[in-house]
Every structure is written in C-alpha cells, then in structure tokens.
Structure 1
Amino acid sequence: MLVLATAATSHASLPHLGMVAPFVVLLLCIALMPLIAAHFWEHHYPKLAVTLGLITAGYYAFVQHNWQPLHHAAQEYVSFMALVGSLFVISGGINIRVKGEATPLVNTLFLLAGAVLANIIGTTGASMLLIRPWIKMNRFRITGFHIVFFIFTISNVGGCLTPIGDPPLFLGFLRGVPFFWVLQHCWAAGLLALTLLLVVFFILDARNFSRVPKNIRDKETAHEEWQFNGLLNLVWLGVVILAVLLPKSIQETTVLGVFTIPALVMLAAAAASFFITKPAVHEANDFNFGPVKEVGFLFIGIFLTMIPALQILQSGEAVQISSPLQYYFTTGALSAFLDNAPTYLSFLAASMGQQHLSVESHADVLKFATEHARHLAAISLGAVFFGAGSYIGNGPNFMVKAIAEKSRVHTPSFLAYMYRFSIPILLPILIVVGWVMVKSGQ
C-alpha cells in the first residue's frame, strides 16, 4: 500500500535505473536462497532484506536528498503491517476444531465459503482464520496443492468484490472509488475466476482422495465435528474492520508522522486480543509470531527497494499501454512480484494521467470510475487476481506458507509455486477471464 509520486514525476527526480538492482536482488534471494542455501537464508534473511532496503533509503536520503518517498514508504509500511499483523493476532485467538468430512466436495465448499468471507473480513483475516482448520481437516492427505489453492481462492481471488476484501481495492476506496463500485463492475469476472479455480481444484482433489486407501477414507470422513473457541475475538475483528472504514479525514491523521489513527486502533485491538485470549486457545492454534515476523522483515525490504521501480513505472517511460486488456495483464504481471497494492495505485495514477486526471483528487477518481469503468475494472481485477502469482504478490500468501510449514505441511518453493501451479493453472484461467470479461467489457 505504498503511496508515491504520481505519473507527473519529473525526469529530474527519477532515480537512476541502477537503483532497481536491490529490488531485483531481493526477489532473486526470495526465489533462490531457500533452494540453494536454506539454512543460511532461514537465519539471515532479516539482515539481507533490511540491508537492501537501507541501500535504497541511503540513495534517497544522501544522493537525491529526498525524504518524501521514504516517509510515505514508512507510513504505508506501518499501516500495512498494522492491518496484516492485527488480523493475524486476532484470528490466531479463534480456534476452529474440525474433524472429518474432508471429501472433495466439502473441501470445495469450504474454499467457496472462505472466498465469500474474504470480502467481509479481508483476505488476510479469512486466511489467518481458516488456514489452520483447513490443514487439520485434510491432515490425513494434505499436499502442497491444497495450500496453493487456498492461497489462490481465499487469500486472493475471493477478495475481489469489496474494498475490505483486498488492500488494492481499499486504496481505491480511500482515493474516491465508491464502496459498491467494485461489486457492481467486477462480480461477473470474480465469479468466473472463482468457478474455474474451484472446478480445477475439485478435479485434482478427487484424484488425491481416490489414492487414499478406502479404509482410511471411511475412517477419516465418518463424522463431521466442528467446535469454536475464542469467539470473543470477533469483537476485536469488528474493531479492525471499523478502523478500515473510518472517515478519510481520520484516516489521514498521523501520530509521530507514521502511525495513522486506524493503524493505532488496529494495534490496540490486536494487543487486547492477545492478552485477553486464553493461553489454551493459542496453544491449540500453535500460535507464534514467526509468520508475521517473516512478513515484516521481508516487506521492509520490499517496500523500500520497490520505490525506484515504481517511480520509473509511474513516470510513463517504462511502458506505454492504453487498452483495458493491456492494463489488466500489465498490472497483473507486476502485481505478482511488486506487491499488488502499490502496483494498483501506480497503474491507476498512470491511467488517470492519460485522461489528465489526478489520483489525488476524489472528484477526479469518481469521474474516472464513471467514465472509464473498463480501465478501472481491468486494473482492479489484474491487481487482485494476479496477487496469487507468487508468494510475494499479496501479504497473506507468505503468512499462509509460513503457518503451513510450521504445521509440518510441505509447501512448494518460490519457483515451484510458479512453475507447478501459478503458471500452468492460474495463468490460463486468468487469461480466459481477461479475454472474456475485460476485453468484452462485462
């Protein structure tokens, strides 16, 4: 959720092209180090991510003498981590015990329900709430593709219908896009994408289920049992959602320059949840701060090192695109690696700039949403859908992976995630959705 200068950035203030290198190095490390030096990476990734981020920060502070991008990055990083961290802590205080009925049909319906829930409590909240019961109900046969499709549906595609659903859409809402605009203009594309993903998942899960010996299948799916503990945390979850919906004037009020009022409310709700929740509930969830720590350190590096890349992109020199379909795929391609929230804002600014409109003006954003709905829908869908393209495309992705690994579930590596799942399965589906919905204007 990085707010930088708009497409009007002057040539003089653009960073040197070489300053994209720290971002590229960080991406390569995230992709390759777990494969070639897993032990080293596990112990030293915080140092590397922070060091690369500081290189970029030093360039802006001492070479360009421009602190504004760093201030914006710090403020948006704090807001990002406040949202992600609070939802992680609060959902970690809700324990859902489930046993049995992990059949392909029940699994598919579970993913569908989670995708709907993502529009109410956000992809982060839904992911953190449901990933543990998802693992437990499939314990007797869970594989990497169960985790990947959870990320596809609940952590990303499912949250495409409301501003609460996914951070990019929340940024658009703050800039002036009406709350129900996304639902009105994107429901058909969201329904098609989710349907295709669930059909593919059902087929793959049915094959997985058929390989389990019949006596084990009958035993593990004989009875369905659900038990909920820590439901008081739903109150704190509601506080976080209300903080997201505070008026814009309050949203922009800051304390100490980087802590917005909503961020402080979210952090307070998270603290209250953590200290009020019974230790037994945390123990049942195997709750620890490892996953959010990993996201926190990696995204310090990502938020800082991506500043030059986004500024060059927003200058209009990097790409020249105009049609909705071009915006859909270009926004999507970069959303898979640049984090989908700042990428959304960058392309929104670029597209509005082509119409001589400013992303800083609520009136201009509303005009753009009204007169250029296809472009805005393409940018919105590209950012949300393709956030599932890699582990770093959207905040919940890494957290789901970390929780799964903590639960001793094998998850694909960064590269395996892409070449085994997102490229051969997700990408063709999103191409079909783009061609059918974005190109046709539906």
Structure 2
Amino acid sequence: MIGRILVAILLMSVIVVAQASDSVQVQEQQETHQTLDHDSGAEEAHTSKKPALWSVFPFVLLLVMIATGPLFYPHFWHKSYPVISVILAFLVCTYYLFYLHNHHSPVHSTAEYIQFIALLTGLFVASGGILIIVDKEAKPLTNVIILAIGAVIANIIGTTGASMLLIRPFIRLNKNRIKPYHIVFFIFIVSNVGGSLTPIGDPPLFLGFLKGIPFEWTLIHNLVPWVIACIILLGFFYLFDIRNKTNYAVMRGEEEEEVPPTGKVDLKGRRNFLWLAIVVGAVFLDPNVFEWVPGIEYEGQKFSYLREIIMLMAAYGSYRFSDLQAMQGNEFSFEPIREVAFLFIGIFFTMMPALELVSQFAQSPEGEKLISPSTLYWGTGILSGFLDNAPTYVNFLTASMASVGADVNKIQEVIAFANNEYKDSLLSLMAISLGAVFFGAFTYIGNGPNFMVKSIAEQVGIKMPSFFSYIVKYSIPILLPVLIIIWILFFMGN
C-alpha cells in the first residue's frame, strides 16, 4: 500500500514539474522576445536562467525515500529503488535540457558521476580480492588500532580504498560481538575524517589540488585538526566498545567449538594490491593537468576518459585474475556497488538545482558579505553532509576567493590564496577543506564509501540504523561535538 502511495507521489511530481515547466517555457519565450534587441541574444538569456526553487523537490523526495524506504517499505524499496532513482534523475535532466536550456550542468554531472563510479568500482573490486585475516581476540584496543591504521591508510589509497580494504576484516574480527556502532565509527574515522591529509584522501581535496593547491598543503595545515578529531572519535569508540560484553557464539551455545586465536595476521590475494595501485595511480591522469593525457574538450575544459577506462579495466582484471579463496573469504558480491551506482545516479542529477542555487547565493554580494572562516566551515560542512562534498567544496572555494578579489581559475592566485596572501585565506581554505571532509560522515550520502560500507554490513546480516536514526543516534550526539570542538579551536571568532 505504501509503495503504491509513493508511486502516486512520484507520478504527481512528474505532472507538477511538467506543468511548471510549461509555465517556465512561456515565461522564457516572453523574456526572449524582450531581449532580441540585446547583443546577448536569446540563447544567452536561456543559459542565464536560474532553476526554480521547486526544482529541488525531486532531490528532497529521493532523500526522504532513501531515509524511509528500508524502514517502512523495505520490499518495495529494494525492488524499485533503481527505477525511482533513474526516473527522478531523468526528470531533473529534462527540466535542465529542454526548459532551462542548460546543457552545462547535466554534462558536468554526467562526467562527475562517471569519474565517481569508475573510481569506486575499481577500488571496490580490487579490494574485494584481498583477504586480510586477523586471527586475534576482538578486544577494544585491537579495534582502536585497526581504525587508527585505517585513518592513516585513507590518505594513501583514499577513504574508499581504505574502507573497502578494511571493512570486511573488521567485521570478521568482531563477528561474535558486532553491533551497528562498529560500522558507524568505521564510517566516521576510516571513510571520512581519516582522509584529510592528502589530496588522494578525499575527492574535494583532490579537486583543490587540481585547481592549484600544493600537494603538501593539506598535510601541513590539516594535521593538527586531524589528530584531534581522530583521537576524540577513537576515544568515544573505545568507551562504546569496552562496554560491549556480547558474545553471540556463547549465546548460540558454540563456545566449545571456538578455537583460541593464534594472534597471527595473514594476507591472501596479494596480487590485487597491484590492481589497487593502478586504480589509485590513474587518479592523477587528468588532461587539465597533463597535456599529453587525452580528453574530451567541452567549454574550455577537458573531461578525462582514459583514467576511467584504466580504472574499469583494472576492476575487470582484478576480478578475472583474483584469488578465488580470497573472494570467497570476503563473500564478494556486486550488490553493494550496484546499490551505490543506482542511488548516486539520482543523487548526482537531482542535486543539480540545489548546488546551483547554493553557488549563486555564495557568489552573490549578499553571500560574500557573510563569508568568514566560521561561516565557510559550517556552510561547507552542513551542505557536504547532504550534497556531494566535492562540488560543494569548489563552490565555496570559488566564493571565498571571489570575496577577496581572487580567481579560482588562475593557478597563481589559488597558490597565493593557499599561502595566506589574502585576508584570512589560510583559515578560509582550512575551514572549507575540513568542513567538506569531516562533515561527509554526517549522513550515509555525505561521501561515496559511507553507503557502500553500510551495504556491505547489511549484506552480512548487520542491522544498520536507518538514515534518520544514524543522524539522531550517532551523528548528533557523537560527531557533532567533535565538529564543534574543531570549530572552537580553529575558527571561532574569525
């Protein structure tokens, strides 16, 4: 019954958008006639149109369904989420292409989605063929060490690579006492906060590197906040874990069958580290940085395709030639990446109006008046928790530089901004960087690996909190105090 109601709502949204689009078309035609005498012409008038506020509705609807579907109508949701996601994405793209006459945003969203899913697929499949066997007792301190190692590794192979490499052994280690908080803290530390020290760590930082921010900048300036945040989160986790006395094997009467742990750590599927290195190395093949890298040119910018081909070929190679024992030990399945691929089709395209409206306000005179390290930290952060943190980072970096007369598209000015040659520019860049990375853990959709880790956990039978429950039970009482502490220590009063 609930499923039918939601389908009806979805159809109604299509009708509403269609009707609204008709009115937009009429309005555009009227404005076009009024601007025929101007040099800009009709086409420029179309491209300057702002998306209407109601065009954010499909994005909000998708978020609500992601939050409520697994909880209230799981059968309908798991069966229908690919169709719902694609329909909503198609709806917003149609509005952009045929009524706003804006081809720029859909093209960029398509390119960003392909880059996103190629990277996640490569890392997911390559890491799926690496079996890490930790034959130790699942003690709180052991878990803390694994999470701390994951936070460091996230800066070498990215938060997605570290998450995919460690989530399965982390779950296996705690198989007799696993609870949802284990997975949530893994998302907090390994999938997000951990990756703030290098451009490889998280996509927003990599975009900053491509714009001209020096590679070592994040390590130098984000190190202290990274250490503080990781220590606090690991401390919270230790307090949770030390109180967990649950042993499901004993509860099932299997205590006599248990073999004492040997304390050894074993590794199978070592060859997949090569495939993993190929995927990570391909990240740097950007045609806008290296002229010899081929790309598709569009509006003065080159979109990579060689990088994505290499990543997908590495995914195929790692799957084709992987250690079968390692794959079986990991209970490898394509379902987690399938879920992420379909849901983020909807997220990437339906969030276009929201991102554009935010960008326009941030770069307006009214928005620029509000710019300060504090507002940049909270603005970038809150939006990164619910929108894609990579374009949010770029939008706020653009607005912050514009407010001091700098241009984000001029590499020398970006370097000067990073070197604090403009008023408060160092603190502003720190605020944007930390906000984009740290707040990505606030929701399941804040960062790509969040949803994938959740999906892998659910695949092995762990009952994960719903979208809202995750925020209410964990993000607000645990993560938010950490974010406030970072703000007080580094940005409050600025």
TM-score norm. by structure 1 comes to 0.93
Does residue 61 of structure 2 align to residue 25 of structure 1? yes
Unpaired runs of 5+ residues, structure 2, are 1-44
2:472 pairs, out of 419, 437, 440, with: 419
Does residue 158 of structure 2 align to residue 122 of structure 1? yes
Percent identity reads: 47
The answer as to whether partners of 1:255 and 1:261 remain within 8 angstroms in 2 is no
2:135 pairs, out of 78, 99, 124, with: 99
Does residue 443 of structure 2 align to residue 404 of structure 1? no
Query: Relative to structure 1, is the Cα distance of residues 209 and 110 closer, same or farther in structure 2, using a 3 angstrom cutoff?
Result: farther
The CA deviation string for residues 5-32 of structure 1, in whole angstroms up to 9 with x for no partner, is xxxx999432111111111111111111
1: CA distance between counterparts of 2:130 and 2:247?
A: 33
Deviation of 1:331 (Å)? 0.8
1:227 pairs, out of 250, 266, 269, with: 266
Other-structure match for 2:330: 285
Does residue 290 of structure 2 align to residue 249 of structure 1? yes
Q: Which AA in structure 2 matches 1:184?
A: I
Q: Which AA in structure 2 matches 1:238?
A: A
Larger radius of gyration: 2
2:446 pairs, out of 369, 393, 397, with: 393
The CA deviation string for residues 212-249 of structure 1, in whole angstroms up to 9 with x for no partner, is 879969x6774323221111111111112221223613
SS of match in other structure, 2:265: strand
2: CA distance between counterparts of 1:222 and 1:283?
A: 21
1: CA distance between counterparts of 2:56 and 2:260?
A: 51
Other-structure match for 1:436: 489
The answer as to whether partners of 1:10 and 1:315 remain within 8 angstroms in 2 is no
Other-structure match for 2:213: 177
Other-structure match for 2:358: 313
Deviation of 1:411 (Å)? 1.2
Q: Which AA in structure 2 matches 1:61?
A: L
Deviation of 1:368 (Å)? 1.5
Q: Which AA in structure 2 matches 1:369?
A: A
The answer as to whether partners of 1:251 and 1:261 remain within 8 angstroms in 2 is no
Deviation of 1:199 (Å)? 0.5
Other-structure match for 1:366: 415
Q: Which AA in structure 1 matches 2:269?
A: G
Other-structure match for 1:3: none
The answer as to whether partners of 1:188 and 1:437 remain within 8 angstroms in 2 is no
RMSD: 2.4
Unpaired runs of 5+ residues, structure 1, are 1-8
Other-structure match for 2:384: 335
Deviation of 1:313 (Å)? 0.7
2:224 pairs, out of 184, 188, 191, with: 188
1:299 pairs, out of 329, 344, 362, with: 344
1:202-217 alignment to 2 at 5 Å?
202-209=238-245
The CA deviation string for residues 330-374 of structure 1, in whole angstroms up to 9 with x for no partner, is 111111110211211111111112122222222221122122111
Q: Which AA in structure 1 matches 2:149?
A: A
2: CA distance between counterparts of 1:190 and 1:364?
A: 26
1:348 pairs, out of 377, 382, 397, with: 397
Q: Which AA in structure 2 matches 1:232?
A: R
Does residue 194 of structure 2 align to residue 150 of structure 1? no
1:377 pairs, out of 420, 430, 433, with: 430
Query: Relative to structure 1, is the Cα distance of residues 267 and 118 closer, same or farther in structure 2, using a 3 angstrom cutoff?
Result: same
The answer as to whether partners of 1:328 and 1:381 remain within 8 angstroms in 2 is yes
1: CA distance between counterparts of 2:114 and 2:429?
A: 27
Aligned residues: 433
Query: Relative to structure 1, is the Cα distance of residues 220 and 23 closer, same or farther in structure 2, using a 3 angstrom cutoff?
Result: farther
